[in-house]
A and B are shown apart, each in its own frame.
Chain A
Amino acid sequence: MAPILEINNLFKSYGSTQILKDINVAIEQGDFLVLVGPSGCGKSTLLNCIAGLEPITDGRLSIGGQDMTHVNPKDRDIAMVFQSYALYPTMTVAKNITFGMKVRGVDQSTQDEKLKHVATQLQIEPLLNRKPGQLSGGQRQRVAMGRALVRDPKLFLFDEPLSNLDAKLRVEMRTEIKALHKRLGASMVYVTHDQIEAMTLATKIVVMKGGVIQQIGTPSEIYNHPANLFVADFMGSPAMNLIPAKTKNNGQGVEIEIARETGGPITLIDTKNKDLPENVILGVRPEDIADANLRRSEDRQEADCMIDIVEPAGADTFAVMQLGGKQVTARLHAETAAVAGQNLNLAFDLGKVSYFGPETGERLN
């Protein structure tokens, strides 16, 4: 079966400014693709290109196996949810949801039936006769989703749909969208700048920066094997620790030396990787640095470190220290004995370590 969405060598420019450079993405039926990146990275523009709301400068785009490069938005068999919800202010909720069908000349009984179905699904029946101005943010969000769902399109497009909601509601709606995706088995493309949303929702993530795709992969690939320093730093909270280090190849693996301002350097042995250049940037997730007394794992190597700051966050406690001239964060157990200004014996787990070239920023292992 042809991919539900396929983008080949897509370029987009406004005048002489290139917004998107050589984008290649394909997703299968039922995929949940998340476009993630900092603001201005071109992710929303890409979504608008997919929707047909922005013309493409160069390249091809097909939806459901059909070439859609120059097709009008209304003929692409897509539905879109916008950041501002974009509900029609003078129409009631019911009219908002059925507007698309009315425009397309769907007969009244089908409209009513579909409206009822969607309203039940999203639990918005009591709101059907209200105007958008009388709804709360979360309710508007639901109506916007309803307007998309009722169309039953090949492809759903979401443009930062949760970023106008408060934190608690955002998490609720996130779960709901995920459940919806699972229930419908629909194909979705979702734009967000929130990397947690990206990780939780996606079956496939595209990380973008400056109009260029940095990495495409499953959430686990993106998280555990970031392709470069940008992805490593962008995905994950707190961010991956990126520590300048020196390596020495020896018989059984690589000896890694991390300089410290006080005390001697820390030396770690990585037995899984070899043939690394002398200068590398070592990427270690905060959860791979733990309290030596509280965690037992096979790959662990212990070192005494001076803790600068301790930040209790409820479930975890974050400890910040200086290694290799960089701030390094460790995700410790909530009941850690860490005290700011004192040494703590930490266990480093190199099982999922990443190495990056200091000049290129690219992944080495």
Chain B
Amino acid sequence: MTDMSYTASQSGSRAGKIALRWTLYLMLGLFALFYLMPLFVMVTTSFKSLDEIRTGDLISLPREVTFEAWRTAWSQACTGIQCEGVRPYFWNSVLIAIPAVLISTLIGALNGYVVAQWRFKGANLFFALMLFGCFIPFQVVLLPMARTLGLMGMAGTIPGLIFVHVIYGLGFTTLFFRNYYVSIPSELTKAAKVDGAGFFRIFWSIFLPLSLPIIVVTVIWQFTQIWNDFLFGVSFSQAGTQPVTVALNNIVNSTTGVKAYNVDMAAAIIAALPTLFVYVVAGKYFVRGLTAGSVKG
């Protein structure tokens, strides 16, 4: 009797379940549309000619696809008095972001390893201070940092910007690696010590090989932060060392006369492509790395 009533109630609710599922998909679809709308407008606008933009509809597809705006944005658009497009600034950003990401990730890994596995006196205080560093609003440090860079002779240079990004990334990278390494049993370190391995040997042979998920998380995070940074880029650079975000701003804001929306859109997409690329390539590790903490040993 109980069996029958059980199956009956199950099949009775099956229709309800399907309805629920479809409602869910519908909602998700609507949300996705909502979020994708700006991207859609950006992409379509970038492939339109200025004439078409002026006469056409904002959300319509381009009648005639043209890459002219992309070409202009890449190599001809004017950022103030120079008209070289975003290309030189794009490479500036690459030169800033890659070393800064690598250095801050490596130092963060070492910091996290020390704080989690080689507990020294005051390790907790040290970590708390590092954490505090994550929450300092960057506007506060602009003047002292400008002074520091000046004293170090790195004002307005790309190494100077790398330095700034490494320093302000360390709080987060240390936090990521510390939280990952803290879940690794301390017996692993002990066993390696008894086996005769030293500080760097243990880090290199045992901890780094375990760290792929958290390295991916940190690299994505740092790359996004540094590539998208505008404040440091605009404050600590000079003509010739500006990152792509600053160039984008200049292209959009320094044009006179008719606004070349298609060029603006193309430049914006170019500036956003690398972060998009990193997410597509490493995105699945990102989620995995955030959720996977413990190591099954």
- Give the interface centre of B190, B197, B198 by most chain A CB atoms within 10 Å: B190
Q: B209: which A residues are within 8 A, CB to CB?
A: 90-91
Q: A86-B190, A86-B191 are in contact. Are A100 and B196 (CB under 8 A)?
A: yes
> Nearest Cβ in chain B — how far from A209, in angstroms?
24
Q: Which residues of chain B (182-216) have a CB below 8 Å from chain A?
A: 185, 187-188, 190-198, 201, 205-206, 209-210
A48 to B201, CA, bound (A): 21
> Nearest Cβ in chain A — how far from B281, in angstroms?
23
Q: A53-B190, A80-B190, A83-B187 are in contact. Are A74 and B297 (CB under 8 A)?
A: no
A53 with B193: CB separation less than 8 A: yes
Q: A80-B191, A85-B297, A86-B191 are in contact. Are A103 and B197 (CB under 8 A)?
A: yes
> Nearest Cβ in chain A — how far from B198, in angstroms?
8
A110 to B210, CA, bound (A): 28
- Give the interface centre of A84, A88, A147 by most chain B CB atoms within 10 Å: A88
Please pick, from A73, A78, A86, A89, the residue contacting B296 in the complex, using a CB distance under 8 A: A89
Q: B297: which A residues are within 8 A, CB to CB?
A: 84-87, 89, 132-133
Q: A151: which B residues are within 8 A, CB to CB?
A: 195
A103 with B187: CB separation less than 8 A: no
Q: Which residue of B lies closest to A88 (CB)?
A: B206
Q: A72: which B residues are within 8 A, CB to CB?
A: 193
| Chain A 116-137: CB-based contact to B (< 8 A → 1; otherwise 0) | 0000000000000000110000
B296 with A74: CB separation less than 8 A: no
- Give the interface centre of A87, A103, A133, A151 by most chain B CB atoms within 10 Å: A103
- Give the interface centre of B187, B190, B194 by most chain A CB atoms within 10 Å: B194
A79 with B197: CB separation less than 8 A: no
A86 to B189, CA, bound (A): 8
A78 with B194: CB separation less than 8 A: yes
Q: A88-B188, A89-B210, A90-B209 are in contact. Are A53 and B194 (CB under 8 A)?
A: yes
A295 to B188, CA, bound (A): 54
> Nearest Cβ in chain B — how far from A14, in angstroms?
12
* Count of interface residues, chain B, beta-carbon cutoff 8 Å: 20
| Residue B27, interface by CB 8 Å | no
A88 with B194: CB separation less than 8 A: no
> Nearest Cβ in chain B — how far from A134, in angstroms?
10
* Count of interface residues, chain A, beta-carbon cutoff 8 Å: 27
- By secondary structure, the B interface counts as helix
| Chain A 98-122: CB-based contact to B (< 8 A → 1; otherwise 0) | 0110011000000000000000000
| Residue B287, interface by CB 8 Å | no
> Nearest Cβ in chain A — how far from B15, in angstroms?
44
Q: Which residues of chain B (205-254) have a CB below 8 Å from chain A?
A: 205-206, 209-210
A87 to B190, CA, bound (A): 11
Q: A132: which B residues are within 8 A, CB to CB?
A: 297
| Chain A 161-185: CB-based contact to B (< 8 A → 1; otherwise 0) | 0000000000000000000000000
| Residue B295, interface by CB 8 Å | yes
> Nearest Cβ in chain B — how far from A82, in angstroms?
4
A82 with B193: CB separation less than 8 A: no
> Nearest Cβ in chain B — how far from A27, in angstroms?
19
> Nearest Cβ in chain B — how far from A191, in angstroms?
13
Q: B195: which A residues are within 8 A, CB to CB?
A: 74, 99-100, 103, 147, 151
A53 to B201, CA, bound (A): 17
A51 with B196: CB separation less than 8 A: no
Q: A74-B196, A90-B209 are in contact. Are A84 and B295 (CB under 8 A)?
A: no
Q: B296: which A residues are within 8 A, CB to CB?
A: 89, 133
Q: B198: which A residues are within 8 A, CB to CB?
A: 74
Q: A85: which B residues are within 8 A, CB to CB?
A: 297
Q: B196: which A residues are within 8 A, CB to CB?
A: 74, 100, 103-104
Q: B187: which A residues are within 8 A, CB to CB?
A: 82-84, 86
Q: A86: which B residues are within 8 A, CB to CB?
A: 185, 187-188, 190-191, 297
Please pick, from A82, A84, A90, the residue contacting B206 in the complex, using a CB distance under 8 A: A90
Contacts beyond the supplied A72-B193, A133-B296: 8 A-B pairs with Cβ under 8 Å: A74-B195, A82-B187, A82-B190, A88-B192, A90-B209, A91-B209, A103-B195, A132-B297
List of 4 A-B pairs having minimum Cβ-Cβ separation, nearest first:
A100-B195, A74-B196, A90-B209, A86-B191
Interface residues, chain B, CB within 8 Å of chain A?
185, 187-188, 190-198, 201, 205-206, 209-210, 295-297
Interchain Cβ contacts under 8 Å between A and B, 8 examples: A51-B190, A73-B194, A86-B191, A87-B297, A88-B188, A88-B206, A100-B194, A104-B196
Interface residues, chain A, CB within 8 Å of chain B?
48, 51, 53, 72-74, 78-80, 82-91, 99-100, 103-104, 132-133, 147, 151
